[in-house]
Amino acid sequence: MNNFQGKTVVITGAGSGIGRALALQFGEAGARLALNDWNEATLRETIALVEQRGGIAWGHSFDVSQKEAVYRFAEDVAARFGQVDVVINNAGITLEQCMIERTGYPDFEKVIGINMWGVIYGSKAFLPYLKARPQAVLANVSSIFGVIGYPNQGPYVTAKFAVRGFTETLRIELAKSPVAVVCIHPGGIRTNIARNIQSDHPKRVEKFAQVFEKMAITSAEAAAAQILNGIRKKKKRIVIGPDARKIDWMARLFPSAYERWIFRKYDVEKFSI
């Protein structure tokens, strides 16, 4: 898809970070935007920013882990715009650093509900509308941690691996359809995801956020630009950032030994509870 002018683009998690940057850049490219975020205030801020730049944007605030809400959103988008051309399932969260054996089931359920089920619901709810178009794109945001395991982020890694498997399988199944399926693997992106962690240990979260921000070498704007460029070039897999590309190749070359690199870079016990 080379031209986004007049296309209807759906983006979840558009209240900040990559989602907001995507909304602004698609808006500047002439797309009509249907946006979601769980945070009503930040969603409205994104819509206002798009409109200030001359774009068209509308949205609903809801939790993407709620299937009925996602399906209502899909129906509302189709009714409002008459078509759906691009869907980017971007919404996601992470939690405080914790080893898997100490992580409670509610934490697993919360992260998997948003990061995995939100992608599944968003894909299945919008697929009938996407397949009705002569050309369409479904893009799901996994992570570089959908390529390698990473300590103290068990729920997040589990969900992102699931998104990768789901998306790659869907891509094969839809190979002869008008829908291009794309899996996105960001590396360290400068967003508020670490600072938005809900925790009873604010000092620990702040320390982790500082470490994360040092590792996050790619801006949300640069990440969004790579996604738009990847969609234009009909890429099936978009790996974002030099750190992610390095890790991706390391996992391919040393699939049973990449954890040695992790132990050199990261103290597993340091941020766990």
Active site (catalytic) residues = 156
The dihedrals phi and psi of 227, each to the nearest 5 degrees, come to -65, -50
Q: Are 240 and 35 in contact (CB under 8 A)?
A: no
CA 119 – CA 115 distance, rounded (Å): 7
Q: Are 110 and 153 in contact (CB under 8 A)?
A: no
Length in residues, the chain:
273
* Number of other residues whose CB lies within 10 A of the CB of residue 266: 16
* Residue 92: half-sphere exposure toward Cβ, Cα within 13 Å: 29
